[in-house]
């Protein structure tokens, strides 16, 4: 049996909305489906304003423009994240400052982040790994104490919550991803959420989104022509992609539930091995309501992780490990970091392994994966 690492979920209605979008005759950004999806996000998640973007990468870059990040400013983030979190900062000439993760869930360690605050720190980017919320109470307090802006990287956390609040809606700004590998997708896509009723920021963000112009005001009939008013770029996706996304978002609860069932099946099957000290499972804190974006466990050593990965590959089970800590990358070294700077992150990430998890993973396939994982564990 071959079990792929990922399979895309399809509602079956994507084509209908795309067909409708074509018939409406308006394919560019900021169209009918863009507004429909943005309105849905604002109402369903309780955010002040949602902007659809071409990716979470674009949303992060747009966020850094929105907060007017300046060269030399520092932004604290975990080293255990995707490159886009750091690129968005570096693109503005600002400095990513890498902090440790909590070994229980691979999320930003707020206590370690606090130690890295300086007079130049402008913002903090908590990354909700696997759709499990960071300790937002601690992060919001840290930000308030030092007057920092919180920009959530909720790329993996669409539909997940911190207590009763949706991730991406808690910081001043939140960034979501609809990439092909995420829970809800448009192939490539994302969103920037503005969470405070700040009219000045809203006006500026609209212009940044629309290539630095006041085209949004023009579209609403508030000005009779539009012109260049701000720094900006092309952040809005084609309406065709918003049409596709509309079908996916309609199924978000179903997608989460199907992932939850499979996540729990893995967890129950592997729990006895945790009790025997052969692996460590993620622990979801009481304040977090996960969207079950991924399932991972931590092996006793890096060589055992590699042995597990290769052993499963031979049996036809595709697994993955990420992220490679950014401070150990060539770019991270150029920023002045060295291996050894973030020992918890380095240790945990070198032992982490992810198993296939998606709504279409059949019981048979999952039992096959569990059987192969168990066979290797039994030899340790």
Taking CB under 6 A as the rule, does residue 105 contact ligand PLP?
no
Which residue matches tokens 């966020």? 63
Q: Which residues are registered as beta bridge partners of 51? A: 192
CA 232 to chain centre: 23
Query: Can you tell me which of 29, 78, 131, 190 binds ligand PLP, judged by CB under 6 A?
Result: 190
Residue 153 interacts with ligand PLP (CB under 6 A)?
yes
Q: Per the structure block, which two tokens stand in for 31?
A: 């169209």
Alpha carbon distance 23, 19 (integer Å): 6
Q: How far is the CB of 127 from ligand PLP (least distance, A)?
A: 5
Q: Is 194 in the site for ligand PLP (CB under 6 A)?
A: no
Window of 38-46, 54-62, 243-251, 254-262 that interacts with ligand PLP by CB under 6 A: 54-62
Three-state secondary-structure class, residue 105: coil
List Cβ neighbours of 116 (8 Å cut-off, separation of 6 or more). Answer: 76, 97, 99
Site mask, ligand PLP, residues 55-94, x = CB under 6 A? xxx-----------------------xx-xx---------
Task: Tell me how far, at minimum, the Cβ of 10 lies from ligand PLP, in Å.
Answer: 18
Stretch that binds ligand PLP, among 52-60, 142-150, 258-266, 368-376 (CB under 6 A): 52-60
177 lies in the site for ligand PLP, by CB under 6 A: yes
List the structure tokens of 159.
Answer: 């539909």
- What residues contact residue 376 under an 8 Å CB cut-off, 6+ apart? 307, 308, 311, 312
Give alpha helix (H) positions in 147-251.
Answer: 199-209, 215-219, 239-250
* 372 near ligand PLP, judged by CB under 6 A: no
Q: Find out whether 134 and 156 touch, Cβ atoms under 8 Å.
A: no
Q: Which is nearer to ligand PLP, 134 or 278 (CB)?
A: 134
189 versus 270: smaller Cβ distance to ligand PLP: 189
Q: Which is nearer to ligand PLP, 215 or 259 (CB)?
A: 259
- By CB under 6 A, name the binding residues for ligand PLP: 55-57, 81-82, 84-85, 127, 153, 155-156, 177, 179, 190
């Amino acid at each position: 049996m071959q079990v792929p690492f990922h399979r895309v979920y399809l509602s079956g209605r994507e084509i209908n909305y795309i067909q409708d979008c074509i018939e409406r005759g308006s394919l560019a950004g900021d169209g009918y489906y863009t507004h429909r999806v943005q309105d849905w996000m604002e109402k369903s998640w309780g955010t002040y304003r949602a902007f659809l973007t071409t990716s979470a990468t674009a949303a992060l870059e747009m966020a850094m423009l929105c907060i007017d990040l300046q060269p030399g400013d520092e932004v604290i983030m975990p080293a255990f994240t995707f490159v886009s979190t750091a690129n968005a900062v570096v693109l503005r000439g600002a400095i990513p400052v890498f902090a440790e993760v909590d070994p229980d869930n691979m999320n930003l360690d707020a206590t370690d982040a606090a130690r890295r605050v300086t007079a130049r720190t402008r913002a903090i980017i908590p990354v909700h790994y696997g759709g499990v919320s960071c300790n937002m109470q601690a992060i919001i307090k840290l930000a308030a104490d030092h007057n920092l802006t919180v920009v959530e990287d909720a790329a993996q956390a669409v539909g997940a919550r911190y207590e009763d609040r949706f991730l991406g809606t808690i910081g001043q700004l939140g960034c979501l991803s609809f990439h092909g590998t995420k829970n809800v997708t448009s192939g490539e896509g994302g969103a920037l959420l503005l969470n405070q009723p700040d009219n000045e920021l809203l006006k500026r963000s609209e212009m940044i989104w629309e290539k630095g112009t006041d085209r949004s005001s023009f579209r609403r009939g508030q000005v009779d022509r539009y012109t260049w008013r701000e720094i900006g770029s092309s952040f809005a996706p084609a309406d065709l992609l918003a049409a596709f996304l509309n079908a996916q978002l309609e199924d978000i609860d179903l997608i989460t539930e199907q992932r939850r069932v499979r996540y729990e099946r893995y967890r129950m099957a592997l729990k006895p091995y945790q009790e025997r000290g052969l692996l460590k499972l993620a622990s979801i804190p009481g304040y977090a309501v996960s969207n079950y974006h991924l399932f991972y466990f931590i092996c006793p050593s890096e060589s055992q992780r590699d042995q597990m990965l290769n052993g499963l590959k031979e049996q036809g089970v595709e697994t993955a490990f990420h992220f490679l800590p950014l401070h150990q990358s060539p770019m991270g070294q150029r920023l002045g970091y060295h291996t050894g700077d973030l020992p918890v992150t380095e240790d945990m990430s070198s032992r982490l392994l992810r198993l296939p998890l998606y709504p279409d993973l059949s019981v048979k396939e999952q039992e096959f994966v569990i059987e192969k994982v168990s066979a290797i564990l039994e030899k340790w």
